[in-house]
Chain A
Amino acid sequence: MNEEKLRFIDEYRNKEILLKLIKKLKREIDNPIKIMEVCGTHTISISKFGIRRLLKGKVDLTSGPGCPVCVTPNEDIDWIIELCRKFKDKICLTVFGDIMRVPGSNSSLFIEKAKGADIRVVYSPIEAIEIAKKRKDLKIVFFGIGFETTAPSIAISLIEAKKLKLENFYLYSAHKLIPPALDALLSLGEIKLNGFILPGHVSTIIGSNPYKPILKKYGLAGVIAGFEPLDIIQALLILNELIKNKNYDVKIQYSRSVKPEGNEKAKKIMNNVFKECNSIWRGLGEIPNSGLELREEYNDMNAKLHFDNINVSPKENPACKCGEVLRGIIYPFECPLFAKACTPNSPIGPCMVSSEGACAAWYTYEDWKKYKKMMKNE
């Protein structure tokens, strides 16, 4: 029962190899390095598997803006909430589970559901299509969050909706692109990094090439890593070598899934349905060409165009330091609200939303009080 392994997962969780690899990594690091891990799933893996603690003193791992829920600004959440309120009983909102608990300016989808809005969590956008087929009496709106990993799947769903001539399916696109965000983040010049652990599944779609000019421009190295503990440590080993040799290149550790050119078919499908647009990122402001919007051929499925009289006045909580956490300039526990007014149970900012952002990962898995004390004593 427990003895059976899950193939391509458990092999990369081998305890013996991990401990030896970590010893090797610590030995090979001469001076402590500061690395940004961009992806929310990496943040969770690093905390859940205790990697952050094991590398203390040698590798300083800071989280970046790769959590699609965390970087979605209040404006989008408020819009979706207003949609649910204005068209109650006429629409069914379908969402990924991640976004349910994220607070907007004064409510969240969780609360709106409790108040009677028809909001359904799906695992796949195809489930939303199925609902649209069954419930011709409702308008089904899909709240599209996620980066390049997810956008191609959403694109297929829209192509499917068109094929089925569905007249009641809409997308609100809040999709974003990672490379422009990295460029914008680095242009701020706020943090001194040595390199990046780059997202494994975004890169499965886009490949390693898009990162190269950006990292070269700022003199940084990057390694695309898988999500298992051995993947992450192996990626750090490769990254350390690149840093030591001042080799500002992008290497692929997660080669079983990532090719330099990525997934050409998925990219093509994504580009057939979406076009680049400017997008607002929490913590980073508006970044040109960093978002995805539906092409004109899909205007009739564009929720923003169809429901065009939704007005919102978003306001951000001035005490919330999510922006600084997302830019990697503070640790979650350095936010004055962390674990006090802001907990996973009652999050003030999206970074604390359960199992998603850096704040939640730290709160849920790390002995952050110890870390805070250690930092004070340094």
Chain B
Amino acid sequence: MCLGIPVKIIDVKYPEAIVEIGGLKKNIRIDLIENVKPGDYIILHAGFAIQKIDEKEALETLKILEEVLKRNE
């Protein structure tokens, strides 16, 4: 039930941060997460970061997804 979009942190000034996506920049709140720094990606919902994206997991998911391309079916 929830529109949450991955965006990149480019500046942090707790409890606010500036994020960027597709060249678009916006001021958001990061009260709900810890230890964010520029370069991190977060999920943005209603102007708040609700979670930091685990890039390792993201790449792992993609790897599994891309596996299917290698098979000839």
Direct contact between A and B in the complex (CB less than 8 angstroms)? yes
Contact between chains at A17 and B29 (CB < 8 Å): no
Task: Report, nearest first, the 3 A-B pairs whose CB atoms are least far apart.
Answer: A124-B47, A8-B6, A201-B2
Q: Given the interface contacts A17-B69, A96-B46, A204-B50, does A11 sit within 8 Å of B62 by beta carbon?
A: yes
Contact between chains at B32 and A153 (CB < 8 Å): yes
Contact between chains at B73 and A257 (CB < 8 Å): no
Residue among A156, A253, A256, A258 making CB contact with B32, cutoff 8 Å: A156
Residue among A146, A253, A257 making CB contact with B54, cutoff 8 Å: A257
**Considering the chains assembled together, what is the distance between the CA atoms of A7 and B45 in angstroms?**
16
CB proximity to B under 8 Å, residues A105-156: 123-127, 146-147, 149-150, 152-153, 156
Nearest CB to that of A149 among chain B residues?
A: B2
Contact between chains at A265 and B34 (CB < 8 Å): yes
B32 to chain A, nearest CB (A): 4
- A residues near B (Cβ < 8 Å) are 4, 6-9, 11-12, 14, 16-17, 20-21, 23-24, 39-41, 66-68, 96, 123-127, 146-147, 149-150, 152-153, 156, 199-202, 204-205, 227, 230, 234, 253, 255-259, 263, 265-266, 269
Contact between chains at A257 and B51 (CB < 8 Å): yes
Can you list 29 A-B pairs with a CB-CB distance of less than 8 A? A6-B6, A6-B22, A7-B21, A8-B6, A8-B53, A8-B58, A14-B65, A17-B65, A20-B71, A20-B73, A21-B65, A66-B1, A68-B1, A125-B46, A149-B1, A149-B2, A153-B48, A156-B31, A200-B2, A201-B2, A201-B45, A234-B65, A253-B61, A255-B54, A255-B57, A255-B61, A256-B54, A257-B4, A257-B53
Nearest CB to that of A14 among chain B residues?
A: B65
A45 to chain B, nearest CB (A): 10
Contact between chains at A200 and B4 (CB < 8 Å): yes
B43 within 8 A of A: yes
The B contact surface, by secondary structure, is mixed
Contact between chains at B5 and A147 (CB < 8 Å): no
**Considering the chains assembled together, what is the distance between the CA atoms of A24 and B68 in angstroms?**
8
A269 to chain B, nearest CB (A): 7
Q: Given the interface contacts A256-B54, A263-B51, does A146 sit within 8 Å of B65 by beta carbon?
A: no
Contact between chains at B50 and A205 (CB < 8 Å): yes
Nearest CB to that of A147 among chain B residues?
A: B1
Q: Given the interface contacts A255-B60, A257-B43, does A269 sit within 8 Å of B32 by beta carbon?
A: yes
CB proximity to A under 8 Å, residues B3-31: 3-6, 8, 15, 21-22, 29, 31
Nearest CB to that of B41 among chain A residues?
A: A8
B16 to chain A, nearest CB (A): 9
Nearest CB to that of A43 among chain B residues?
A: B1
Q: Which residues of B contact A66 (CB under 8 A)?
A: 1
**Considering the chains assembled together, what is the distance between the CA atoms of A129 and B11 in angstroms?**
23
Q: Which residues of A contact B69 (CB under 8 A)?
A: 16-17, 20
Q: Which residues of B contact A234 (CB under 8 A)?
A: 61, 64-65
**Considering the chains assembled together, what is the distance between the CA atoms of A40 and B22 in angstroms?**
25
**Considering the chains assembled together, what is the distance between the CA atoms of A12 and B48 in angstroms?**
23
Nearest CB to that of A255 among chain B residues?
A: B57
Contact between chains at A17 and B51 (CB < 8 Å): no
**Considering the chains assembled together, what is the distance between the CA atoms of A12 and B6 in angstroms?**
12
**Considering the chains assembled together, what is the distance between the CA atoms of A269 and B29 in angstroms?**
14
Q: Which residues of B contact A204 (CB under 8 A)?
A: 4, 43, 50-51
**Considering the chains assembled together, what is the distance between the CA atoms of A300 and B62 in angstroms?**
48
Contact between chains at A126 and B65 (CB < 8 Å): no
Q: Given the interface contacts A124-B48, A205-B50, does A152 sit within 8 Å of B32 by beta carbon?
A: yes
Contact between chains at B32 and A150 (CB < 8 Å): no
Q: Which residues of B contact A11 (CB under 8 A)?
A: 62
B73 to chain A, nearest CB (A): 6
Q: Which residues of B contact A202 (CB under 8 A)?
A: 1-2
